[in-house]
Amino acid sequence: MATAYPDELVFVPLGGVGEIGMNMAAYGFGPSNARKWIVVDCGVTFAGPSQPGIELIMADPSFLEDNADDVLALVLTHSHEDHYGAVLDLWPAFDRPVYATAFTAAMLSAKRASDNIVDNVSVRPMQVGKPFTVGPFTIEAINVAHSIPESCALALTTSVGRVIHTGDWKLDPRPIAAAPTDEKRFRELGAEAIPLALICDSTNALKDGTSPSEDEVAATLAGLIADAPHRVVLTTFASNVGRIISIARAAQKAGRQVVMSGRAMHRISGIARELGMLEGVLPFLDQDAFKTLPRSKIVVLCTGSQGEPRAAIARIARGEHPAIDLNAGDRVIFSSWAIPGNEREVIDIQNMLIDRGIEIITQRDGLVHTTGHPRREELKRLYDWLKPETLVPVHGEAAHLEAHAALGRQHGIRNVVHARNGDMVRLFPEVTQFPGEVRTGELYLDGNILCTPDESGVKGRRRLSFGGHIVVSLCIDARGGIVSGPDLAIEGLPNVEDDEDSLTTLVRNTVNGALKSIPPKRRADPDLVDSALQRAVRGEVNAWWGKKPNVTVFVHRI
Residues ≥6 apart with Cβ < 8 Å to 104: 76, 78, 79, 84, 150
* Partners of 24 in beta bridges: 15
Of 84, 101, 104, the C-alpha closest to 39 is 84
| Cα-to-chain-centroid distance, residue 35 | 30
Domain locations in the chain as residue ranges: 8-209+371-456, 214-361, 468-557
Measured CA to CA, the distance from residue 112 to residue 439 in angstroms comes to 29
Q: Which CATH number fits domain 214-361: 3.40.50.10710, 3.40.720.10, 3.40.309.10, 3.90.180.10?
A: 3.40.50.10710
Report yes or no: 358 and 388 within 8 Å, Cβ to Cβ: no
Of 108, 100, 117, the C-alpha closest to 152 is 100
Q: Residue 499 has what pLDDT? A: 58
Report yes or no: 367 and 212 within 8 Å, Cβ to Cβ: yes
Report yes or no: 211 and 371 within 8 Å, Cβ to Cβ: yes
State in Å, rounded, how far the first CA of the chain is from the last one: 68
CB atoms within 10 A of CB 289: 15
CA distances from 66 to 60, 69, 137, 551 (A): 12, 8, 21, 41
Q: Classify residue 180 by burial, with Cβ atoms within 10 Å: 0-12, 13-18, 19+.
A: middle
Report yes or no: 390 and 417 within 8 Å, Cβ to Cβ: yes
Positions in the chain whose pLDDT score sits under 70? 1-2, 4, 497-501
Of 433, 422, 453, the C-alpha closest to 64 is 422
The string of pLDDT tens digits covering residues 161-204 is: 999 999 999 999 999 989 999 999 999 999 999 999 999 999 99
Count of residues in the chain: 558
Measured CA to CA, the distance from residue 442 to residue 423 in angstroms comes to 15
Q: Residue 192 has what pLDDT? A: 95
Of 234, 225, 232, the C-alpha closest to 253 is 225
Residues ≥6 apart with Cβ < 8 Å to 543: none
Residues ≥6 apart with Cβ < 8 Å to 96: 71, 72, 73, 74, 122
Output DSSP code: residue 291: G
Measured CA to CA, the distance from residue 277 to residue 434 in angstroms comes to 44
Output DSSP code: residue 70: G
Q: Which fold has domain 8-209+371-456?
A: Metallo-beta-lactamase; Chain A (3.60.15)
Report yes or no: 12 and 61 within 8 Å, Cβ to Cβ: no
The amino acid that residue 142 corresponds to is I
Q: Which fold has domain 468-557?
A: Ubiquitin-like (UB roll) (3.10.20)
Of 244, 26, 301, the C-alpha closest to 156 is 26
Output DSSP code: residue 384: H
φ, ψ at 427 (rounded to 5°): -95, -35
- pTM reported for the whole predicted model: 0.91
Q: Residue 520 has what pLDDT? A: 85
The string of pLDDT tens digits covering residues 496-517 is: 766 556 889 999 999 999 999 9
* Partners of 75 in beta bridges: 40, 99
Sign of CA dihedral 316, 318, 319, 320: negative
Report yes or no: 273 and 265 within 8 Å, Cβ to Cβ: no
Measured CA to CA, the distance from residue 103 to residue 108 in angstroms comes to 9
Measured CA to CA, the distance from residue 109 to residue 87 in angstroms comes to 11
Strands, E, within 42-113: which ranges? 44-46, 56-59, 71-75, 98-100
| Cα-to-chain-centroid distance, residue 99 | 21
Strand order in the sheet with 442-446: 44-46, 56-59, 442-446, 449-451
Measured CA to CA, the distance from residue 53 to residue 56 in angstroms comes to 9
Q: Residue 68 has what pLDDT? A: 96
Measured CA to CA, the distance from residue 108 to residue 266 in angstroms comes to 15
Of 212, 153, 216, 217, the C-alpha closest to 182 is 153
DSSP percent split of the chain into helix, strand, coil, nearest 5: 35, 25, 40
Of 249, 268, 259, the C-alpha closest to 330 is 259
